[in-house]
């Protein structure tokens, strides 16, 4: 039996983790986050696809790939969370087949008003905001619990 595949997708500017506003986003780099996710995923028997892009179309393409290749998707769409109908539409395709988790390093609802709305939120069964890089681990744990309940 093959391992469940989890896509972990990060949006714009998250390649600058550890440099960009560490008082908000923490000191972990994107490489730290990926290593942490790989280690946690292994404890649950998951394989992961970990991707980051500053380009909306890349994220949409990876979401579409998740439809065919993933059991779960963890997404931090970053600024596209609040602006991307394309990401909304892509995630909508996954709703009945791929379990979606929304993650944000900070809590957008405690920041500027334009960050309070999420195009990702309606599609996700779990949301982790304000936990820094730990949010991805929480997302993997939520997926493991959900898939355990699916057995």
Name the DSSP letter for residue 3. P
DSSP string, 68-120: HH-SEEEEE-GGGGGT-HHHHHHHHHHTTTSEEEEEESS-GGGS-GGGS--SS
Smallest CA-to-CA distance from 116 within 125, 107, 126 is with: 107
Instruction: With beta carbons less than 8 A apart as the criterion, state whether 98 and 70 touch.
Output: yes
Catalytic residue among 88, 104, 105, 136: 104
Q: Which of 25, 80, 88, 119 is catalytic?
A: 25
What is the C-alpha separation between 24 and 39, in angstroms, rounded? 24
Nearest to 55 by CA among 66, 43, 63: 63
Q: Quick check: is 104 catalytic?
A: yes
- C-alpha 14/C-alpha 25 separation (Å) is 9
Kindly list the catalytic residues: 25, 104
């Amino acid at each position: 039996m093959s391992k469940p595949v989890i896509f972990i997708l990060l949006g714009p500017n998250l390649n600058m983790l550890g440099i960009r506003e560490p008082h908000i986003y923490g000191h972990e780099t994107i490489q730290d986050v990926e290593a942490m996710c790989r280690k946690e995923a292994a404890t649950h028997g998951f394989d992961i696809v970990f991707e980051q892009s500053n380009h909306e179309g890349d994220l949409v393409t990876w979401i579409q790939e998740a439809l065919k290749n993933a059991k779960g998707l963890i997404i931090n769409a970053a600024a596209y969370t609040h602006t991307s109908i394309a990401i909304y539409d892509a995630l909508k395709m996954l709703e009945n087949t791929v379990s979606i988790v929304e993650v944000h390093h900070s809590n957008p609802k405690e920041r500027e008003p334009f960050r309070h709305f999420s195009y990702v939120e309606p599609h996700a069964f779990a949301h982790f905001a304000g936990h820094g890089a730990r949010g991805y681990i929480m997302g993997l744990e939520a997926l493991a619990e959900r898939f355990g309940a699916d057995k």
